[in-house]
A and B are shown apart, each in its own frame.
Chain A
C-alpha cells in the first residue's frame, strides 16, 4: 500500500509540472491583455509600465521560469484585472463550486443508483422502462434549458426557491437539481449495466442456490461488485462538475470557479487563468487519488 501511494504521488507531481507548462502556453495564446486591462484613457507610459510590472515584456522562457519559481513558493501571481492575489480569488470561488458539486453528486447518486438497481433487478417492468426514459431525458436536455425551466417552475410560478444567487441553503436546491439531473441519468444507466453484469456472476448464482435472501444478494454482494466502475465514473463526473459547470453557474449567478475562469480567459487575465486551471487540476488529481484509495478499500484484490 505504501509503495502504491508513493508511485501515485510521484506521477501526480510530474503531471502537475507538465500542466504548468501547458497552462502557461495556453494562457498566452489567448492574446495580449493590455488593451483589455488598460482603459482607453491610459497613456503609453501607463501601458508600458503595466507590461513591465507583470513581466510581459520579457522572453517567454524567462516568464515561464519566473512563473514556475513563484508557484513553488505558493505565489500564483496577482490578477491583472482585480489587482488582488490570484490565489485568493480562486480560493474564494472554490468554496461555492465544491459545495455545489458535492451536493449535485449526492443528488445524482441518490436518484441514479436506486434507479439503476431497481431496473437491473426487474428488467422487464414498467419501472425499468421509465428509468430508460428518464435517462434519455437527462442526457438529452441541455443543462441551461433545465436550469431556466426550473427557475420558471419553482421560482417564478411557484415561489418556492430563489431564482439565483448564493448565500442560503435554499439557493442550493435549483442549481444542485440542474447539475444532479444530468449526472443522475448516466449514473442510472451505468449502475443498471453494472448491476446486471454483477447479477449474472457465478457467485450470485451460487448465493441464489444457497438460498441467500434476495435483499442481501442485490444490496450487499451485487452492489459492492458493481460499485467499482461506478466509483471511477463518479470521480470523473465530480471532476467535470468541479472544472466549472459554467453555464449553470452563470444562469444561477453562482460565484464559482467556472464563471471565474471563463471571465478570466475573456479578459486575458493570465495569472487568474493559470491559478484557476492549476488549482482545479490539483483538485481533480486529488479526487482521482481518493478514488484510487477508495478502490483499494473496496476491492481486496488490489491491495495484494
Chain B
C-alpha cells in the first residue's frame, strides 16, 4: 500500500504549497472553506520503528511511542508526569492492599465506538495473563492479579495474590485495557494488525520501517487532540531526521541527538524542546566475579573519581541530569537525603589504596556502539579518562547493540567484564521493575549480588500502599548509595525539535512523545 507521507509543515515548501492551496480553494469556492475548518495534520519523525502493535506483546520500551498514544490503563500519567486517573475516575484500595475497587469513567469509549466497561477490564487481564498469550511482561503486574470481579458496567474489583505497592503506578504501562467484543470478533492476529484502543489517537495504517499513521480520536473522554491525522515517519539516520525539520517536512522531530542541537537551534523556524526522562545511564560494576571490586569502598571510590557534572556538560552537551543516586530524583524513594559521592579524585585514589585495590590489573570496560543511545561511545571515553587519571587502568571494548546485549543480558555473566556502559529506562516513577532486574542477584541485567540487598529488594512491594512503602524505599536507596553497585551517571533528557507553528509541552519523565496536547497553528 502506498501512501503520501509528506504533509506540509512549516517552511518554504509549506509556504509554496500553502499559497497554491489557497489559490486553488479560492478558485473552487466552497470546498476551500470546508477544508479550513478540518483539524491540521501532524507529521512526526521518529528514530526507530516499533515491532509490535499488540499491547500484550511489548518487547521493549520503544513500543510505548505507539502504546502511550493509542492505549490506556485504569490509571496513568498526566502532562506533568504525575499519576492520575485515566479510564477509571476513582479508586478505593482496601486497607490490606489486596483489593482495589475501580469506578470507570462514564463516556470512555474505544476507537470503534464501543464503551469501555468492566467486562473489558476483566477480559484484558485474562488475555494479558493467559499462558497462550506469552505476554513477556505478565510477571510485572497482571500475573499477580487473582481476579477481576465485574460488579456492573462501571465498577469492578481487582484482587491481588500478594500485596504490591507498585500496582497503581504500573497500571499505565503494564495493564492496558483492550476491547473485548472487537478482539473476540476479529481474533489475535487481526487485532495485532489493526489494533483498537481507547487512547487519544486511533491506529489507521502502518508500513514496517516506513511509517505509522494515526488519527485523532474525537470521541475521547478528555484528551481530544487538536490535530487530525498524525503521520509518524521512521527516519533512522540522525542527519536525515534533522533535515526533516529543516525542510519543514516534519512538524516534530524526536530523538534529536545532543550534538545536533546547536546547529538546529540557530535556524529561525525551529524550537528545541527538552524534558527530563527516566532513561538512566550508569556503569554496572561486576562485583561478583572480580575480587578487586568486591568492597563497597572501592566502588564508592570509583564513583568519586568521576566528574559527572563535567561529563554532562562536555559529552552530553548539557542535555542530561547528573544523578548521585541510581535513579532520577522524581522516582519514588529517590528523594532521600544522602551524602553525595562528590568529585574528589585525590580521596578516591586514597580510598582505593587503603582498600588494597590492585592497580596493576586493568578493568575491562564494555561499551555500546553508537547508534542506539546518543554519545554512548563518548561517555565511555570520558569515564576511562577520569579512571585513568587516578591510576585505574582500563581496557575498552565497544560492541554493537546485539553483541553488547548478549553479554549484558546473558544468563551467566561474563567474569572477564568488570565494567559496562548501560542504559535502562524506568517506565514510570516506580523503581521496583528496574531494580529487581538490574540489582538483585540473578536479575537478567544484574552484575551484583548482596543477600542483604536482595532481602530488601524482595520485600520492596510487600506493602499495602505506596505511602506505607515510601520510607522503606528511601531506606533502600540509601543502602544502594552506600553499596554503590554501579557508577551512577545521569538520566538523559529527551530532546525534540519542533516547527514554528507548534506549541507543545512534552510529558516529562517518559522517553516517548505523548502527542495529545500538541497544538498546531493552521
Contacts and interface: CB of A to CB of B under 8 A. Distances in A.
Interface of A: 30-32, 35-43, 46, 49-50, 81-83, 89, 92-93, 148, 151-152, 155-156, 159, 162-168, 170-171, 250-253, 255, 259-260, 263, 265-268
B436 to A, nearest CB: 9
B402 A41 contact: no
B241 to A, nearest CB: 8
Contacts of B211: 165
B208 A255 contact: yes
Interface centre among A31, A163, A251 (most CB of B within 10 A): A163
A92 B207 contact: yes
B236 A41 contact: no
A82 B236 contact: no
7 contacts: A30-B402, A31-B406, A40-B409, A42-B139, A83-B57, A83-B192, A163-B249
Contact of B240 (A93, A163, A167): A163
A251 B237 contact: yes
Contacts of A40: 409, 437, 444-445
Contacts of B476: none
Given A31-B406, A39-B59, A46-B134, A253 B208 contact: no
Contact of B247 (A156, A259, A260, A263): A156
Interface string B187-217: 0000010000000000000011111000000
Given A50-B134, A253-B235, 8 more contacts: A30-B402, A35-B405, A81-B51, A83-B192, A152-B243, A164-B237, A263-B209, A266-B400
A81 B402 CA distance: 13
Contacts of B35: none
A255 B207 contact: yes
Interface of B: 2-6, 11-13, 16, 51-52, 57-60, 134, 136-137, 139-140, 192, 207-211, 233-237, 239-240, 243-244, 246-249, 400-403, 405-406, 408-410, 433, 437, 444-445
A263 B131 CA distance: 29
A32 B410 CA distance: 10
B235 A165 contact: yes
Contacts of A168: 4, 6
A42 B139 CA distance: 7
B437 A41 contact: yes
Interface centre among B57, B136, B207, B236 (most CB of A within 10 A): B136
Given A41-B437, A251-B237, A255-B210, A165 B136 contact: no
Contacts of A166: 5, 210
B209 A41 contact: no
Nearest to B192: A83
The 6 residue pairs across chains A and B that have the minimum distance between CB atoms: A35-B409, A255-B210, A42-B136, A163-B243, A159-B13, A41-B137
A265 B402 CA distance: 9
A55 to B, nearest CB: 16
Given A162-B247, A165-B5, A39 B406 contact: no
A253 B198 CA distance: 30
Nearest to B14: A159
A36 B402 contact: yes
B136 A89 contact: no
A268 B406 CA distance: 10
Contacts of B246: 156, 163
A27 B17 CA distance: 48
Contacts of B240: 151, 163-164, 250-253
A49 B138 CA distance: 14
A155 B402 contact: no
Contact of B403 (A31, A83, A171): A31
B249 A162 contact: yes
B60 A39 contact: yes
A33 B388 CA distance: 35
A35 B243 CA distance: 34
A14 to B, nearest CB: 33
Contacts of B57: 83
A253 B406 contact: no
Nearest to B12: A159
Given A162-B6, A167-B5, A81 B59 contact: yes
A164 B405 contact: no
A210 to B, nearest CB: 54
B136 A38 contact: yes
Given A251-B237, A266-B401, A260 B5 contact: no
A38 to B, nearest CB: 6
Nearest to A265: B402
Given A92-B207, A92-B208, A41 B233 contact: no
Given A41-B437, A82-B51, A156-B247, A164 B134 contact: no
A49 B133 CA distance: 12
A41 B433 contact: yes
A30 to B, nearest CB: 7
A167 B2 contact: yes
Contacts of B192: 83
A267 B48 CA distance: 13
B64 to A, nearest CB: 12
Contacts of B2: 167
B247 A155 contact: yes
Nearest to A95: B2
A294 to B, nearest CB: 30
A168 B433 CA distance: 44
Contacts of A156: 243, 246-247
Given A32-B406, A165-B5, A151 B243 contact: yes
Contacts of A92: 207-208
A36 B405 contact: yes
A84 B205 CA distance: 16
A82 B63 CA distance: 12
A291 B234 CA distance: 36
Given A83-B192, A251-B237, A167 B445 contact: no
A55 B139 CA distance: 24
A259 B236 contact: yes
Contact of A35 (B137, B249, B406): B406
A89 B208 contact: yes
A32 B403 CA distance: 9
A143 to B, nearest CB: 13
Contacts of A155: 243, 247
Given A162-B249, A164-B243, A39 B136 contact: yes
Given A81-B51, A82-B51, A151-B243, A165 B233 contact: yes
B452 to A, nearest CB: 23
A254 to B, nearest CB: 9
Contacts of B233: 165, 253
B137 A39 contact: yes
A43 B134 CA distance: 10
B410 A35 contact: yes
Nearest to A35: B409
Contacts of B236: 250, 253, 259
